[in-house]
Amino acid sequence: MTMESTMLVQIFVKKTEAQKIFLDFFEAPEDHSRRSHKGVYHSEIFKTKKGRVKVPVLDTRYFKTALTKSTKLNKKHTPNRYGKGAILAEAQWKGLTNELNNTDADFNIIVSSIQVLSAEHGFETWGNFPHEIDKLKAIIKKQSQRCGLTL
């Protein structure tokens, strides 16, 4: 086992504890829905003078599988083979699709903790999982009238 793979294992071993600490820090009530599933993904709705804004927040760490190490000196990672690996679990994909399909919001902003569009820099990005970025783009395209921004 390499030093890098050991570090990945150590990071993900404590993800349940990390989720609890995260939710405690943000003072999520004990009965909050985020405490009933793995990962801290959730959705918020904000009312503005111009309408309702829904903000689905993705958890791109909890379920993310290993990245492929790059052989290039200036890049840490290279994209996985198409269909290999995951950023979101199936439950999170279903939740995101549900949130966007069943909304009366005037505008949606999807929040991701890692870069969605940039894939060339060799660090952590959706581009390291080509099939996952294609799936996300397809969901956004279906919602193009109301999904105006991905952060």
pLDDT (tens place) for every residue of the chain, 151 residues total: 454 444 443 446 788 888 899 899 989 999 988 888 888 999 999 999 999 999 999 999 888 888 888 888 788 888 888 988 899 999 999 999 999 888 888 888 999 988 888 777 777 889 889 999 999 999 888 876 666 666 5
Q: Which domains does the chain have, with CATH numbers?
A: 38-150 (3.60.21.10)
Compute CA distances 90 → 21, 64, 86, 87, 132, whole Å: 24, 12, 9, 10, 11
Q: Determine the Cα–Cα distance for residues 100 and 55; give it in Å rounded to an integer.
A: 10
For 38, the enclosing helix (H) or strand (E) is none
Residue environment code for 103-113, b if the CB has 16+ CB neighbours within 10 A, otherwise e: bebebbbbebe
Residues in the chain, total: 151
For residue 115, what are its two tokens? 């870069």
What confidence score (pLDDT) does residue 12 get? 67
What is the pLDDT, as a whole number, of residue 8?
Answer: 42
Q: pTM score > 0.75 for this model?
A: yes
Q: What is the pLDDT of residue 146?
A: 65
Kindly state the helix (H) or strand (E) to which residue 107 belongs, with its residue range: strand 107-110
